Structure 1
Amino acid sequence: MRNRNLAIALVSAAAAVAASTLIAITPASASANYYLATTEQVSNRVLVWNRNVSWTDANLYWQFTPGTTGGTWQNLSDVKIRATDAHGTIALVAASGGKAAIVDVKAGKKKATTSDILWQATPGGNPHAIERIPGNGSVVVASSNGYLTLYSPTAVSKPSTLAKVQTISLKGAHGVLYDPTHKYLWAIGEGRLVPYSITGSGRSTRLTARNGYISLGTYRNSAGETKPNLGHDLQASYTSKSTLFITHTSGVYSVDTWTFRTTKVSGTTRVKAYVNHSGGERAWVRGDNTGRRTWGSPTVQFFNSAGTATSTKTRSGAEFYKVRVWSTAFE
């Protein structure tokens, strides 16, 4: 994006305040064969189901378990599915306890454990999101305590060579997403959505914030104080390459990546994850503000392309935090 367009876009944004054989590389069509990945924090597993089946263990399509509900692996907070030349389909996972990892998703194998991990690190700081830079092999983790951590390899095909090369301050960092259209990385945190340029290769890879960011606006808290909205989720739209979906304190918004204009999708609060499938269906997880994990919910809510609520999937006793379209595509 050119700097001139970026500057113009920032004015608009401020005024508006928004695989392998296992599965195809592009988003699945809207049918009984589309799958959703969830992070479920009570059992502490990544659970993947067909959208239309009963969400029971018997119907699980794939799962990842670190084998513990405590320590640095507790409270799995993010999962993304990506494609690699060397290892086929991988799952990127992050846990609020402090861990981040690349997991080998072996075709035909329904359950992955820590023995299937290709690389792991402990960036700490309550990791909330993870992303991989294609062709470069670098991995970025967003930690809500206020920073991004960049890990880069000496060999793209060998995740075991990844090492920390950069830490970037971003208050309230909650989401990261690679944008193949503009070829930069988006990150969302407190009060802002920031695009980062990616330069270099190998251990010389670096992220540099571009000249500007999208303001997330403000809200008034219960004490009457004006505070910046805290960004929660950041996801691609599988129906538009120029659109991102974000959630923050005040609701759900779409973002035009060319103009930086934001548009309100919903004023519903506490939406922790929001996805848009290629067939137009949408889904979210909304923190129910009850129980031990007030930020989670046993229910995933579905909507049609017009935003009308249509159906739900509920798993008794579960606490879902993230929901993701099971696809290796970036957009």
Structure 2
Amino acid sequence: MRRRTLLRGAALAVPATVLAGAGTAAADVSTTANFRVVVTEQVSNRIMVFDKDSAFTDANVYKTFSPGGGGWSNLSDVRIRDTASFGVVGLAAASGGNVGIWNVTDEKHQESNDLLWSAAPGGNPHAAERIPDIGAIVTASSHGYLTVYGPTAVSRPETLAKVQTVSLPGAHGVLWDPTINRLWAIGDKTLRTYEVTGTYRNTRLRYTGQSITLPGLGHDLQPDYSDPGRLWITDTYGIYRVVKSTMQAPKYSSSRRVKSFVRHSSGEDFWVQADDTGSRTWGSPTVVFSQSDDRTRSGAEFYKARWYATSFH
């Protein structure tokens, strides 16, 4: 049995083998919480939602979003957010160059005609985030910048237009934190916080001067759904649990090339780790769970896996 249970509420010195290799699930999975997981799958180029406790097959898919190819190729990130005007929406970023918002309706299979807005910030987009109450969007492009889009009204995403570009080498992730009203952004060897000033087309980011230095290129940036005082981040060399009050990020695991890592509110962890094989060496056909059965989809290349929920904690 894989030593994955060490990841649940574990001490910081988790061995690198925790995330490495194949194995069976923890002995007792019957008591773990079921929840939905949303993934970016780059071979079929779809965002897909599954119940964690079901096989990741077409028969079990809950929802999909297929934006097409071109600028939408190699979907790199997905977020689920709540809005007053449209209800639940999804935010997508693709390494092909595009970002967008789509309306998550009752329709099971959604496509580009469900987009409420899209843009092409370029530079290998890796993440997109929505600023609530003003409806602004911030994207992260790994070629080295954040792009801010402001609308003319919070309920009109079709009016979003670029209003600011902020330099951030290696930008890979952005996350709005409602507990401190700050935007987090992760890039090359750094995690930074930004204040969001102004509204609508006057929306701007201002670097607060607060940052955490990392040893490698930052990859993922997620809430700790079990503790609003912490975040989870990954870089080339490991996984780190950020203590927001002290701006410290002790290493949790030395496992490399973890493309996404989430701690669910139940305490269960799940992640995607690049396997250096297949059509996309930066992806994997498997989402690994710390207390449940791993989910492998034959021929797939997952890049990100997220909790299908709109809450921050």
Q: TM-score, normalised by structure 2?
A: 0.89
Paired residues, what number? Answer: 283
Take 2:284 and 2:182, find their aligned partners in 1: how far apart are those partners?
Answer: 32
Take 2:182 and 2:65, find their aligned partners in 1: how far apart are those partners?
Answer: 29
Take 2:134 and 2:182, find their aligned partners in 1: how far apart are those partners?
Answer: 12
Take 1:278 and 1:211, find their aligned partners in 2: how far apart are those partners?
Answer: 30
Q: Secondary structure at the match of 1:178?
A: strand
**Does the Cα contact within 8 Å between 1:249 and 1:269 map onto a contact in 2?**
yes
**Does the Cα contact within 8 Å between 2:228 and 2:312 map onto a contact in 1?**
no
Q: Tell me the amino acid that sits aligned with residue 59 of structure 2.
A: A
Q: Secondary structure at the match of 1:329?
A: coil
Q: Tell me the amino acid that sits aligned with residue 33 of structure 2.
A: S
Residue 50 (1) aligns with residue 51 (2): yes
Task: Choose from 188, 193, 205 the match for 1:195.
Answer: 193
**Does the Cα contact within 8 Å between 1:40 and 1:319 map onto a contact in 2?**
yes
Percent identity over the alignment is 53
Q: Tell me the amino acid that sits aligned with residue 167 of structure 2.
A: S
The Cα shift of 1:284 comes to: 0.5
Take 2:75 and 2:47, find their aligned partners in 1: how far apart are those partners?
Answer: 7
Structure 1 runs of 4+ off > 3 angstroms?
A: none
Q: Secondary structure at the match of 1:187?
A: strand
Gaps of 5+ in 1: 1-28, 218-228, 305-309
Take 2:126 and 2:32, find their aligned partners in 1: how far apart are those partners?
Answer: 28
The Cα shift of 1:67 comes to: 3.0
Cα pair distance change 1:311/1:54, threshold 3 Å: closer
1:226 is matched with which residue? none
1:232 is matched with which residue? 219
Take 2:142 and 2:56, find their aligned partners in 1: how far apart are those partners?
Answer: 30
The Cα shift of 1:30 comes to: 5.7
1:291 is matched with which residue? 278
Alignment deviations for residues 298-327 of structure 1 (CA, whole Å, 9 cap, x no partner): 0011114xxxxx531000100000000000
Alignment deviations for residues 166-206 of structure 1 (CA, whole Å, 9 cap, x no partner): 00000000000001111010000001000000111011110
1:316 is matched with which residue? 298
Q: Secondary structure at the match of 2:294?
A: strand
2:91 is matched with which residue? 92
**Does the Cα contact within 8 Å between 2:77 and 2:304 map onto a contact in 1?**
yes
Q: Tell me the amino acid that sits aligned with residue 292 of structure 1.
A: S
2:241 is matched with which residue? 254
Residue 74 (1) aligns with residue 73 (2): yes
Q: Secondary structure at the match of 2:201?
A: helix
Q: Secondary structure at the match of 1:262?
A: coil
Take 1:179 and 1:82, find their aligned partners in 2: how far apart are those partners?
Answer: 13
Task: Choose from 260, 263, 269 the match for 1:276.
Answer: 263
Take 1:31 and 1:192, find their aligned partners in 2: how far apart are those partners?
Answer: 33
Take 1:99 and 1:264, find their aligned partners in 2: how far apart are those partners?
Answer: 33
Q: Secondary structure at the match of 1:192?
A: strand
**Does the Cα contact within 8 Å between 1:30 and 1:277 map onto a contact in 2?**
no
Take 2:67 and 2:102, find their aligned partners in 1: how far apart are those partners?
Answer: 10
Gaps of 5+ in 2: 1-30
Alignment deviations for residues 67-99 of structure 1 (CA, whole Å, 9 cap, x no partner): 33xx11100000000000000000000100000
Q: Tell me the amino acid that sits aligned with residue 300 of structure 2.
A: A
Alignment deviations for residues 94-137 of structure 1 (CA, whole Å, 9 cap, x no partner): 1000000000001x211110010000000000000110001110
Q: Secondary structure at the match of 1:191?
A: strand
The Cα shift of 1:239 comes to: 0.5
Q: Tell me the amino acid that sits aligned with residue 326 of structure 1.
A: Y
Take 2:98 and 2:68, find their aligned partners in 1: how far apart are those partners?
Answer: 13
**Does the Cα contact within 8 Å between 1:30 and 1:278 map onto a contact in 2?**
no
Task: Choose from 115, 118, 121 the match for 1:120.
Answer: 118
1:181 is matched with which residue? 179
The Cα shift of 1:257 comes to: 1.0
The Cα shift of 1:260 comes to: 0.7
The Cα shift of 1:207 comes to: 0.3
Q: TM-score, normalised by structure 1?
A: 0.84
Alignment deviations for residues 279-299 of structure 1 (CA, whole Å, 9 cap, x no partner): 110000000011231100000
Q: Tell me the amino acid that sits aligned with residue 241 of structure 1.
A: P
Take 2:193 and 2:32, find their aligned partners in 1: how far apart are those partners?
Answer: 30
